[in-house]
Amino acid sequence: MNAPRRLGWRTPFLAAALVLAASAPAPPVASAAPAPGSISYDVYRPGVYSMQATWTWCTAASVQIMRNILLDQGVHSSVQQGAFFDYMQASNRYQLGGHRGIDPQGFLAGLRHFVDARYTLVASATYDQAVRSAVTRLRLTGEPVALIVAAGRHAWVLTGFAATADPARTSDFRVTSVRIVGPLYGRQSISGYDSPPDTSLSYAAFRQFLLPYRFHFATTPWTGSYVTFQAIPVQLAAVRRAVPV
C-alpha cells in the first residue's frame, strides 16, 4: 500500500517479535474500582512508550508498547521491533511483490504469538460498533487494543477511555473519549498523527482517524470494515516468545 508523504506508512502493517518467556504478571488494573455512573479507565503508564524505529514499523512499535504494558517492562529495542516485523510479514495473507508491509492477518499472528493468544481480529460494520466493542474488551481484560487507523496505513494502540457507564457492568453506555498511543510520535507529528502518548481524543475527533480499512493490492475480507484487535475475556494461556534484545 502506498503511504501518505513522510508519515511513514508505506504499508498497512509492520511488526514481528519481542522478549520474555512464560510467566508474565497479571494485566495492570488501571483505575480504582468503578463507581456507578461515569467511568475513566486507562492502562497506560510512563515508560511503556516506544517510537517506531523506522518510518514503516508502526505495528512493530505497537506490539512493543503492548508488551511493555502487559509485562510491566520498558523495552524500546529496534532489534526487537525488527524481529516483530519479520515474523508478521512472513504471516501475511497477501504475499505480493509490491506489498512489503504487514496486513491484518500478519498483525494478528504477531499479537497472538508475542503478546497474548487471546487476541482476535474484530471487523466492525460501523464506527460506533468498533469503539464500543474495543472499550468493552479493554475494560473486561485490562489489555490494550490495537487499532488500524488512516484507512489501513498506520497502527495505534488504544489504552483507555471515558464513558457514561462501566462497559463491564452494562451495555447501556456511551463512549465520550478515548486514549491513544501513536508510535510515530517523536519522529513526526502532523495532522493529528501522532500526538504525545496517552493523548485523549473525544469520540467525535477519534472518528477522523479510525476509518474503514482499504488495501492497495486487493479486495480483502476486511475491506470497508473498522478493524481492531481485541483480547477476548477468557482464561487462555498467553504465548510470549523470547527474541533478541
Q: Do β-strands 39-42 and 199-202 pair in parallel, antiparallel, or remain unpaired?
A: unpaired
Domain boundaries, the chain: 39-231
Query: Which residues, 6+ apart, have CB-to-CB distance to 138 below 8 Å?
Result: 41, 43, 144, 145, 158, 159, 160, 161, 230
Position 218 scores a pLDDT of 78
Average pLDDT over residues 214-239: 81
| Number of other residues whose CB lies within 10 A of the CB of residue 37 | 9
| 3-class DSSP assignment, residue 129 | helix
Q: HSE, CB side, 13 Å, CA atoms: give it for residue 28.
A: 19
| % of the chain surpassing 90 pLDDT | 66
CATH number of the domain located at residue range(s) 39-231 in this protein:
3.90.70.130
Position 242 scores a pLDDT of 55
Longest Cα pair distance anywhere in the chain, in angstroms?
A: 54
Residue pLDDT, tens place only, 110-155: 999 999 999 999 999 999 999 999 999 999 999 999 999 999 999 9
- Measured CA distances, 9 to 55, 90, 145, 188 (Å): 7, 19, 20, 12
Cβ atoms of 83 and 244 within 8 Å: the answer is yes
Task: Assess whether pLDDT exceeds 90 at residue 93.
Answer: no
- Measured CA distances, 11 to 14, 53, 151, 209, 217 (Å): 7, 15, 11, 16, 10
Lowest mean pLDDT among 67-81, 151-165, 231-245: 231-245
Task: Assess whether pLDDT exceeds 60 at residue 49.
Answer: yes
| Residue written as grid cell 478493524 | 227
pLDDT greater at residue 108 or residue 4: 108
- 187 closest CA partner among 179, 196, 178: 196
Q: How much is the mean pLDDT over the chain?
A: 83
Between CA 118 and CA 120 the distance in angstroms is 6
pLDDT greater at residue 195 or residue 102: 195
Between CA 74 and CA 64 the distance in angstroms is 9
| 3-class DSSP assignment, residue 31 | coil
Average pLDDT over residues 44-72: 95
Position 60 scores a pLDDT of 94
Position 240 scores a pLDDT of 52
